[in-house]
Structure 1
Amino acid sequence: MTAISALRRTASHALDFWYNTDTAGKIELPGIHGADQIYYIASPWRSLRRALSPADVTSSDVFLDVGCGKGRMVLEAVSSYRFRRCVGVELVPEIYRHAVRNIHNAQRRHRRIRGRVELINQDIRTFAVPDDVSVVFAFNPFRGPVWTAAIDSLIASHDRSPRRIRLVYVNPEEHRELVATGRFRVERELPGTTVYELR
């Protein structure tokens, strides 16, 4: 382990301690995740903060994490921004239950997190993106047809209720497919992360 990776690991544990959560680790569930889905590994803390300034979020914005895992980015969103509410969608029941515990523990420790988080245990392929969502976070959660279904739902939500929607895509493996829709414009590129605007 390099000094940098050790420092990151220490910082990750420190933030979990601060929130009273357990968001780290890697979970492989081949019986549930197919070839077009990814094993669970948490987004690095501050992934959202590096891509989206708190000044760019208002109290009318709504956050959605597709494939929210144990809830790390939902916690970052609710504690660092003025989102009206924060939604996380997770397919795997085991991981979803872990996210629920993490949010519950964090809410007990930090009052500002209360009343602004909704976690949903559902397959993203059948999930209808709410028509008030304005910021979407994805840490390369799906590939292929599963990703296509998630993006189709996001586009459908935009078409029902036209508004500015930003997609923060970490490790953007499906960049070409996203741009090929003709609906997403690259707003900002960072190392390992691309921010898109849905038009």
Structure 2
Amino acid sequence: MQENYYDGVFNIKTKNDQKGFPDSAHYHRYEATPYLALDRLFDKYTITKTDKVIDFGCGKGRLNFYINHFFEANVVGIEMNEKLYIEALKNLDRYQKKNKKTDQIEFECCLAEEYEITSADNRFYFFNPFSVQIFMKVINNILRSVTNAKREVDIILYYPAKEYIYYLEHQTSFTLKEEIALNDIYGNNINERFLIYRLC
């Protein structure tokens, strides 16, 4: 129900998952975060107009449009798959017909580890888009950026991989700020949750 409702409100198409598998074993198949999960996340976690959110493995851009619609924040979607990137651009074109603040949404077609972190980027979203090896490279890029421009940074993990958690908690200065459970929605699957890590 919510999948159809929000896609309709935003005038986009994000429901179908990626068919087949990526060419690289390091990059995982696209799957959009359920709108029901996003509702729960942003009921408890606040994004402001001054935040800039980077969505690694953005697919067709669902998170980008959701955040822009409700919070008017800047959002950049990073997608390595050219077909999904084109779908995201088509969604942006559709979204523009019903919304005014589309200059706050960007999509880039590149590998996650090649995206250049800017001093404005401060919220980073991951729904297990790639292997822990790529994740480590991306986190190191973020940490280097913070060294050059001190700021508060959050890492938001949905359905968090154990390897991601271990790396953040044992090899970085990020600390767990909040856990948002979804087991009342999805049953007893302990992986159905958001973990938010903060670097201050």
Same fold (TM over 0.5): yes
Q: From 107, 123, 126, give the equivalent of 1:138.
A: 126
Residue type matched to 1:125 in 2?
E
- Give the Å deviation of 1:187: 0.4
Aligned twin of 1:93: 82
Give yes or no for the alignment of 1:79 onto 2:80. no
Q: In the alignment, is the contact (CA less than 8 A) between 1:90 and 1:121 conserved in 2?
A: yes
Equivalent position of 1:26 in the other structure: 17
Give the TM-score normalised by structure 2.
Answer: 0.86
Corresponding residue to 1:110 among 86, 96, 99: 99
Aligned positions of 1:121-160 closer than 5 A:
121-160=109-148
Alignment CA distance shift 1:54-1:79 (3 Å): farther
Please state if 1:178 is matched with 2:161. no
Per-residue CA deviations over 1:79-110 (Å, capped at 9, x if unaligned) read: 11142x21111000000000111111011112
Query: Which position in structure 1 is the counterpart of 2:199?
Result: 198
For residue 13 of structure 1, what is the amino acid of its counterpart? N
8 A contact 1:54–1:82 mirrored in 2: no
CA RMSD of aligned residues (A): 1.9
* Alpha carbons of structure 1 residues 64 and 48: separation in structure 2 relative to 1, 3 Å: farther
Q: What residue number does 1:6 align with?
A: none
From 49, 54, 58, the counterpart of 2:48: 58
- Indicate whether 1:43 and 2:33 are aligned: yes
Q: TM-score, normalising length from structure 1? A: 0.86
| Mapped contact 2:52–2:75 kept (Cα < 8 A) | yes
CA contact (8 A) 1:66 1:89 kept: yes
Is the 2:7–2:14 contact (alpha carbons within 8 Å) kept by the matching residues of 1? yes
8 Å Cα contact 1:51-1:195 kept in structure 2 = no
Q: Once the 2 structures are TM-superposed, how far is the Cα of residue 39 of structure 1 from its aligned partner?
A: 0.3
Which residue matches 1:16?
Answer: 7
Q: Which runs of 5+ in 1 are unaligned?
A: 1-9
- How many residue pairs match? The answer is 187
Cα shift at 1:77: 1.0
Which contiguous aligned blocks of 4+ residues in structure 1 show a shift greater than 6 angstroms? none
